[in-house]
Structure 1
């Protein structure tokens, strides 16, 4: 901009001032700009915006009512053959969201759709959303590693699970690089070891009760310690993708837990299970890369899902604040309620922005290695905010929020579980901080 044009813009008496272009906004007499379904988000591509509307309808009319019913069942009833879980599963597959379809999109367009998908699924029911997420991880990682043969054997309709956490090693299993281990200590003996010394890979041991879809999955992506002849090593493990009907695989009882009760979780036991070599996704030389990769994908998925849950709770609270009267007026007329709602929506915006920004960044083809730190920003922020927002929403509902007549007490329980899920937030912060170390500055 030249000094002359700048002068004209700042001095109304300039001769050309009235010839400026029309303003980009259409101002009302009392301005009040509205947020979109995606909050303070620029206009989405038309096909993604339309799909988001489809997903929101699915979340409200299919997921939420089914999730509420499953929440009140026993874990055994949730996974029974006549359970509504399988109706949900069937209707989700009819949406046509596949790993192959996402792979055919431009990387950053796929990242946006991925975020919106899990935001909207989380809007409907967090437990069912995580079941979907865990269910596609075997196929998702096969695509990331270029294993078309395994994608052909295990299409999207085949329900997956992710076996990594162990009874004696929870978040430790996400740390083969030993960034969070206490100095001078050892993680101890793994609960599951893959023997790589023969023609087949042999598994002995177990995964813990927190394996999502563990009791009902047909395919598993498994991460465990490996023994290449010198004893088991958690830092030199392996990742496998295999069918769950192999001889020697058994499963425990479905876990009875506080939140996300629509999400089946349970133990898996391996007794001399022989895994053909074709199912090896990553050997010891690639193990740390494989853990890094799935951790980054899963943490981004968590951030999106619980952004959606927080948005749902905030929307319910906003509607209720217009309906419920106290002090003679709808409670939204009270300053404290308006302030609380503002900060709830602010936290949703932060969570959504971090998640979409991180996914966009990590799907940039020019990047090379994605940033696990960015994914952990999303997970820890999204889950912490979901817990805070659902708690504040319940407070707005008052005593009604404590009853099962309203969905808030369930949403609060679902959000609380997320602070531990996919790595405790406190431990992730330690690991994430380790990635910020610049060794050159320490020398």
Structure 2
């Protein structure tokens, strides 16, 4: 080899690469890049203004008909991102498109991103569980929600196998139960105030315990799509909370609600599969969404570090600011890379790995919170004010370490799923 022909000879004398908006992202194919660009435009022009406006309203004002939340849903529908489109993609395409979709929605606004995700869950789970009746009977333009968490049962609702219970622990009586009677599923009880879209939903994909002759059995339940206009369904007040205020959440109550057996997605024998399925996809969705939230916080901090001057220089010239930005970007990139790796892994596995989705969710949500906290520190006093966006991102990120399973419990359950029985 002739040393004079080495590739480095073509580099500048002082090599340096300037990152674009997606930092270490390798080039996407043309279709995927066009998809991302359209989502970024939507996130910038629609989601951020609407999310910021809704953040300043009361929970009841957000949920009220005529609020800009419904404008968001209408504009989102115009993107044409339907279940039919998602399921028409190859496994390879979906493994690329799904993370991009929720990364960009999360970059726009965390609360609106989760509202969009919860909206589609009844239809998504109907497709996954093979219920054609629900898919044909109801329009995707309806608003869906996911009812699993209960006043007395939070993350333990996701631990159907009860791996995590203390030897002296008991689940206690479920707050919501169902039984089959004369071709109908009869539902009684309530779901907690944390049901995303619960205060506005037209359809609920409901997970509840089976009522048996020996009492409620939380390990053998029902997964059923429930239209919320049915007699006996009522709602609590929309929940006031510190972050994700664009996402309406609230209780659902069921008083002898009867829904035809056609709406059943999974009965007692398939209940654990149904919980596993939605939990795996929800955790991956959270990983993608909060990778986008982390990038949003980093983008704001990076821009501000170039604009803000202290000591006569832009603060990015100060050592500790540069160091902090480096570690913020490291966390953003690691969250995104892990989430996309898990999306690809689970797309090609006959049974997706729940513990892999948990890795993505826990990593992305914790990194999003840490990056948002660092962004506030970089903005200084300005970061604490409502005039700048990072205080909202920080509040939005905080809930992520609790929703869809609190991270501490997910880590224990995910750790147990690493056990190899052949090694014991």
TM-score normalised by L of structure 1: 0.93
Partner of 1:148: 132
Distance 1:228 1:395 in 2: 54
Partner of 1:100: 84
Partner of 1:245: 229
Q: Structure 2: any 5+ residue segments left out of the alignment?
A: none
Cα deviation digits, residues 75-94 of structure 1 (max 9, x gap): 11112222111111110111
The higher radius of gyration belongs to 1
Partner of 1:212: 196
CA-CA distance at 1:441 after TM superposition = 2.2
Distance 1:224 1:261 in 2: 27
Equivalent residue for 2:379, pick from 397, 412, 415: 397
Partner of 2:312: 328
Determine if the alignment matches structure 1 residue 372 to structure 2 residue 354. yes
Count the aligned residue pairs. 424
Cα deviation digits, residues 251-277 of structure 1 (max 9, x gap): 000000011000000000000001110
Distance 1:151 1:177 in 2: 29
SS of 2:146's equivalent in the other structure is strand
Determine if the alignment matches structure 1 residue 386 to structure 2 residue 368. yes
Higher mean displacement: 47-56 or 257-266:
47-56
SS of 1:113's equivalent in the other structure is helix
Distance 1:28 1:357 in 2: 33
Determine if the alignment matches structure 1 residue 261 to structure 2 residue 248. no
**Kindly tell me: are residues 25 and 68 of structure 1, through their superposed partners in 2, closer, same or farther at Cα, counting changes over 3 Å?**
farther
Pairwise CA RMSD: 1.5
Distance 2:226 2:175 in 1: 19
Distance 2:416 2:139 in 1: 37
Partner of 1:6: none
Determine if the alignment matches structure 1 residue 413 to structure 2 residue 409. no
Partner of 2:288: 304
Question: In 2, are the aligned partners of 1:197 and 1:229 still within 8 Å (CA)?
Answer: no
Equivalent residue for 2:408, pick from 426, 431, 434: 426
Partner of 1:3: none
CA-CA distance at 1:60 after TM superposition = 1.2
Distance 1:37 1:133 in 2: 25
TM-score normalised by L of structure 2: 0.97
SS of 2:324's equivalent in the other structure is helix
SS of 1:354's equivalent in the other structure is helix
CA-CA distance at 1:435 after TM superposition = 0.2
Distance 1:24 1:284 in 2: 64
Distance 2:10 2:356 in 1: 37
Question: In 2, are the aligned partners of 1:197 and 1:228 still within 8 Å (CA)?
Answer: no
CA-CA distance at 1:397 after TM superposition = 0.4
Higher mean displacement: 164-173 or 152-161:
152-161
Partner of 2:262: 278
Distance 1:151 1:32 in 2: 52
CA-CA distance at 1:156 after TM superposition = 2.1
Equivalent residue for 1:223, pick from 187, 190, 207: 207
Distance 2:228 2:92 in 1: 33
CA-CA distance at 1:54 after TM superposition = 1.0
Distance 1:347 1:151 in 2: 39
Determine if the alignment matches structure 1 residue 85 to structure 2 residue 72. no
Distance 2:266 2:253 in 1: 21
